[in-house]
Chain A
């Protein structure tokens, strides 16, 4: 059984394409400039793992990291 996934948006890489927010609104939120960050500490709730990977694989700036606890 795999551990929990954790996501992190690198604020230096994010350019505000907001692809992650539209693919996984449960996991990402945007600041006033439209740049993304993970919600809370980035722990991916059960059942949202696919959305996390989908967001990562659609980020044009490669700004999203996923680690496994």
Chain B
């Protein structure tokens, strides 16, 4: 694996895997946005990045010139052999594929799952509540989404570590290491195929069986490959995204005691606070492939390039959000795009919100006093999903 050449000019040569971008992307995005609504780099075989809310929105809405068949910017563009509908689908295939997945993820469906998520959070807290310092990413935030989605799918919650390994290989190592990427996808497919096969003789009452019972637009049951693709999507999209969202929120509260104390005193602020954490620390950057020449915000866009569709950068655009660089937990107007805009709105957004809310509520109930451990280092994941992967905290007032 070749080490990339360090960036010296962000505007014409940006690299979203550069360690400085991973560590603190916000000043870099401000610099890019000040220069142009759409910037370009020759890295990763050619990539555009819209830097304003307006440009991000225009691309998200435009399925004629921008395809979702590739949704991650990587060093290589291997032939498309495995899809994950509906996230990798374009119209007209997109809508029926998405409608199959929407009912299990409505707010009402999430209410039924909520008690289990509350229990998961408390089981995790029980394990470290008496310790003076912990890595909250490794001990808390990481496990909540993986156990919740396992619970929904009807697969063992203890297989979580396996899922986390695949996701790391696919979303992070896979950006530059095609062999690892392919092996992880293979292992994951094999695992889920086993669960699909098992349900053919013993149907269950979980999301995997629900998908297997579903009928496609042609009235026929979905193929195993379609079910497999959707499961792959739920796992990849449902885990380190919310892990990141919970982690970034906890990181903010650990370093901002005024917000933490206010949320404890005014718990009714939680929904607005969650939306603000989603805006300010949006974890997910999607991608598109340019399939037809066009113009976005006055900038020419040419095929054979990818687009880094940075919802996080859009959410920091001061033209859209007053005081965009400030975290205001009582922000009243907040049309953030953390879950995307247009037809590809995140299927799991209600799940993510519920998990973030419950994870923060249960944490604040039992650990009202905590701060960053000055002896430790906070580290962030790179690439498609950004969130704290190491979050060393000191727990309790006197320590």
Are the CB atoms of B345 and A15 closer together than 8 Å? yes
Q: Using a CB–CB distance below 8 Å, which chain B residues touch chain A?
A: 99, 102-103, 105-108, 271, 275, 332-337, 339, 341-343, 345, 349-350
Are the CB atoms of B332 and A32 closer together than 8 Å? no
Q: Using an 8 Å CB-CB cutoff, how does the interface string of A46-69 with B read, 1 for contact, 0 for none? A: 000000001001111110000000
| Residues of A contacting B: mostly | loop
Not counting A60-B337, A60-B339, a sample of 19 additional A-B residue pairs whose C-beta atoms are within 8 angstroms of each other reads: A16-B102, A17-B339, A17-B345, A17-B349, A18-B106, A18-B107, A19-B275, A30-B107, A32-B103, A32-B106, A33-B103, A33-B106, A34-B103, A34-B105, A34-B106, A58-B333, A60-B335, A60-B336, A60-B341
Alpha-carbon gap, A41 to B341, bound state (A): 27
- CB neighbours (8 Å) of A22 from chain B are 107, 271
Are the CB atoms of B106 and A57 closer together than 8 Å? no
Alpha-carbon gap, A69 to B335, bound state (A): 27
Within 8 A of B (CB), among A1-51: 15-19, 21-23, 30, 32-34
A-B contact pairs, 20 of them (CB 8 A): A15-B341, A15-B343, A15-B345, A17-B339, A17-B345, A18-B106, A19-B275, A30-B106, A32-B103, A34-B102, A34-B105, A34-B106, A34-B107, A58-B333, A58-B335, A60-B335, A60-B337, A60-B341, A61-B342, A62-B335
Alpha-carbon gap, A11 to B341, bound state (A): 15
Alpha-carbon gap, A26 to B342, bound state (A): 25
Closest residue to B99 on the A side, CB-wise? Answer: A33
- CB neighbours (8 Å) of A34 from chain B are 102-103, 105-107, 350
Alpha-carbon gap, A59 to B275, bound state (A): 12
Closest residue to B271 on the A side, CB-wise? Answer: A22
Closest residue to A34 on the B side, CB-wise? Answer: B106
Are the CB atoms of B343 and A18 closer together than 8 Å? no
Q: Using a CB–CB distance below 8 Å, which chain A residues touch chain B?
A: 15-19, 21-23, 30, 32-34, 54, 57-62
Closest residue to B332 on the A side, CB-wise? Answer: A54
Are the CB atoms of A57 and B333 closer together than 8 Å? yes
Closest residue to B106 on the A side, CB-wise? Answer: A34
Task: Pick from B107, B333, B343: contact of A21, CB below 8 A.
Answer: B107
- CB neighbours (8 Å) of B343 from chain A are 15
Q: Give chain A nearest CB distance to B350 CB in angstroms.
A: 6
- CB neighbours (8 Å) of B99 from chain A are 33
Task: Pick from B108, B332, B342, B345: contact of A57, CB below 8 A.
Answer: B332
Alpha-carbon gap, A62 to B57, bound state (A): 12
Closest residue to A15 on the B side, CB-wise? Answer: B345
- CB neighbours (8 Å) of B103 from chain A are 32-34
- CB neighbours (8 Å) of B275 from chain A are 19, 58
User: Which A-B residue pairs are the 8 nearest by beta carbons?
Assistant: A15-B345, A33-B102, A34-B106, A57-B333, A60-B335, A32-B103, A34-B102, A18-B107
- CB neighbours (8 Å) of B339 from chain A are 17, 60
Q: Give chain A nearest CB distance to B121 CB in angstroms.
A: 21
Are the CB atoms of A59 and B335 closer together than 8 Å? yes
- CB neighbours (8 Å) of B337 from chain A are 60
